[in-house]
Structure 1
Amino acid sequence: MTKLILGRLAEALAALLLMSLVIFILSRVTGDPVALLLGDGATAEDRDQLIAQLQLDRPLWRQYLSFLGNAVSGDFGQSVAAGRRDALELVLDRLPASLSLAGVALGFTLVLGIVMGVLAAITRGGAVDVILRMVALLGQSVPAFWLGIVLIYVVSVNWGLLPTSGYGTAAHYVLPALTLGIFTLAAVLRLVRASMLDALASEYVKLARIKGLPEATVILKHALSNSLIPVVTFMGAFFATMITGAVVVETVFAWPGIGRLAYESIVSRDFPVIQTVVLVITACFILANFCVDMLYLAIDPRMRDRG
């Protein structure tokens, strides 16, 4: 068990290191930040000063090693576009808003997705199954930005039921969480339906029915408990979908999270903040997958034996 945990930790650190290199290189080849940050009236001295400030006059490999060494100590640099504010502090201030939105979206998608998946499986071929499969298809086809705009126009502007943007109350979570979670809801629905159909056709479910157990007990205790293992396996991916999808959703709803911060930093080519946002998102994704791996090892003894 200890060997497995250490192996997962080593994989997580390697992935984080690789992502830091990728985002560092990509952020440097997308354009000249000096030309963007300095106005037309800037002098050559101003340009040289900003280049020295951003350490852009050093070779790329030295810039990366310097960035990596500082990052290990918690120093991700200072934001150029936010008045020299510490980049990590800026990201951490926005992180709770993103995590709370992702948590709400993931919570309701898991609950609804599991319930709808079970209903689709036990009514296979019926009207309910067809309707729920259509819902899943639409959920995985509709672009998040379009859905968000439509919800704002219909629910907020026309009906006046919910706020169009902002953060702070339960009402502010409804539209962003629905927009963010619709894709994952469809994925959970289809995954649970497929797993339930396999479970309902298995021998242990047939045996439970032969024993005369109530149908509710057969479905909930025997079939559903085994059908949730694939859902647990993909929970890390679902969480990552919430975090990465937040860039679009937070921009549409003016949500003060790291997704919107990432968009603002990309527009202003604020390299320190861009790197910090992506690394924090990557760390959240890796941590979520690590926790899922540990949970999977705990609930499925066969995985411990396989390593």
Structure 2
Amino acid sequence: MLKLIATRITEALIALLLMSLVIFLLSRLTGDPVALMLGDGATEADRQALIAELGLDRSLPVQYLTFIGNALTGDFGRSLTASAEPSIDLVLSRLPASLSLAGVALVFTLVIGIVFGVFAAVMHNTPVDIAARLVALVGQSVPSFWLGIVLMYVFAVQLRWLPTSGYGQWEHYILPAATLGLFTLAAITRLVRASMLEALGSEYIKLARVKGLSEAVVVWKHALANSLIPVITFMGTFFAVMITGAVVVETVFAWPGIGRLAYESILARDFPVVQTVVLVITALFILANLLVDILYVIVDPRMRSRG
């Protein structure tokens, strides 16, 4: 267990370092922030002074090493557009909104996806199974921005049941969480269905039925317990989908999370904020996958010896 954790932490540090380099280079290919900040009426002297102030007159390796050195001390730079506020403060102020939305969406998809997958496997090749597979197909095919607009039009504009935007009340979570979670719902449904079909045909399930256990106990306790291992394995990926998908969903529903902050910062060419957002999201991915690895070892003791 300790060897696994140490290995994953080392991989996490390497991944963070590589990601910091990639986003540092890509953010500087999107345009000139100096022109955006100064406007058309600025003189060349004003331009040169701002370049020197931002450190953009130094070479890219020096700029990157400076960024890494500052980041190790908790200084990720200041926003170029938001009243020079520290970029890490901006990101941390938006992070609770994103995590709460991703959490609600993940619980929604886990509950419904597991139920759909179990019923689809138990009622194999019936209309219920076909309907579950159709939901999975639609969920993995429909673009999230299109789905969000359609849900907003139907339930907010036409039926007036739910708000089009906002944050803080339970009803504000329904549309964005449903939009964010549909792709993952489809993936969980297909995973559980495939695992349940394999489990229901195994010898230990036949033995459980021979012992006279009720079908509900056989399905929901014995078969489902082993069928959830693939879902646990991909939990880190599901979480990643939730966070990355939030960029589009938060923009559509005006959700005040880090996804929308990333979108706004890219448009404004706010390098420090973009870098900070991506690094925080990367750290969340890595942490989620580390927790999944540990949980996987706990759930499946056979993995402990493979460490």
Could you tell me which amino acid in structure 2 is paired with residue 293 of structure 1? Answer: D
| Alpha-carbon distance in structure 2 between the residues aligned to 1:134 and 1:147 | 16
Could you tell me which amino acid in structure 1 is paired with residue 110 of structure 2? Answer: L
| Alpha-carbon distance in structure 2 between the residues aligned to 1:227 and 1:145 | 32
Matches within 5 A, 1:121-200: 121-200=121-200
| Alpha-carbon distance in structure 1 between the residues aligned to 2:32 and 2:68 | 21
Partner SS state of residue 76, structure 2: coil
TM-aligned CA deviation for residue 104 of structure 1:
0.2
Post-superposition Cα deviations, 1:47-84, rounded to whole Å, max 9, x if no partner, equal 11221122111111111111001111110000011010
Matches within 5 A, 1:1-307: 1-307=1-307
Name the Cα RMSD after superposition.
0.8
- Larger CA deviation: 9-18 vs 254-263: 9-18
Could you tell me which amino acid in structure 2 is paired with residue 245 of structure 1? Answer: G
Partner SS state of residue 167, structure 1: coil
| Alpha-carbon distance in structure 1 between the residues aligned to 2:37 and 2:97 | 28
| Alpha-carbon distance in structure 1 between the residues aligned to 2:49 and 2:163 | 45
| Alpha-carbon distance in structure 1 between the residues aligned to 2:15 and 2:164 | 38
Could you tell me which amino acid in structure 1 is paired with residue 300 of structure 2? Answer: D
TM-aligned CA deviation for residue 33 of structure 1:
1.7
- Larger CA deviation: 135-144 vs 32-41: 32-41
Partner SS state of residue 228, structure 2: helix
TM-score, structure 1 normalization: 0.99
Post-superposition Cα deviations, 1:2-37, rounded to whole Å, max 9, x if no partner, equal 111111111111111111111001111222222222
Could you tell me which amino acid in structure 1 is paired with residue 152 of structure 2? Answer: I
TM-aligned CA deviation for residue 38 of structure 1:
2.0
TM-aligned CA deviation for residue 105 of structure 1:
0.2
Post-superposition Cα deviations, 1:265-299, rounded to whole Å, max 9, x if no partner, equal 00000000000000011111110001001111111
- Larger CA deviation: 52-61 vs 96-105: 52-61
Count of aligned residue pairs for this structure pair: 307
Post-superposition Cα deviations, 1:120-177, rounded to whole Å, max 9, x if no partner, equal 0000000100011001100110100001111111110111111001101001000000
Partner SS state of residue 141, structure 1: coil
Could you tell me which amino acid in structure 2 is paired with residue 14 of structure 1? Answer: I
Post-superposition Cα deviations, 1:178-231, rounded to whole Å, max 9, x if no partner, equal 000000000000000000001001111111111111111111111000000110
| Alpha-carbon distance in structure 1 between the residues aligned to 2:214 and 2:258 | 48
TM-score, structure 2 normalization: 0.99
| Alpha-carbon distance in structure 1 between the residues aligned to 2:124 and 2:258 | 41
Partner SS state of residue 305, structure 2: helix
Unaligned segments of structure 1, at least 5 residues: none
| Alpha-carbon distance in structure 2 between the residues aligned to 1:64 and 1:11 | 21
| Alpha-carbon distance in structure 2 between the residues aligned to 1:5 and 1:277 | 25
| Alpha-carbon distance in structure 1 between the residues aligned to 2:29 and 2:161 | 45
| Alpha-carbon distance in structure 2 between the residues aligned to 1:147 and 1:2 | 44
Identity of aligned residues (%): 72
| Alpha-carbon distance in structure 1 between the residues aligned to 2:149 and 2:221 | 41
Could you tell me which amino acid in structure 2 is paired with residue 126 of structure 1? Answer: T
- Larger CA deviation: 234-243 vs 296-305: 296-305
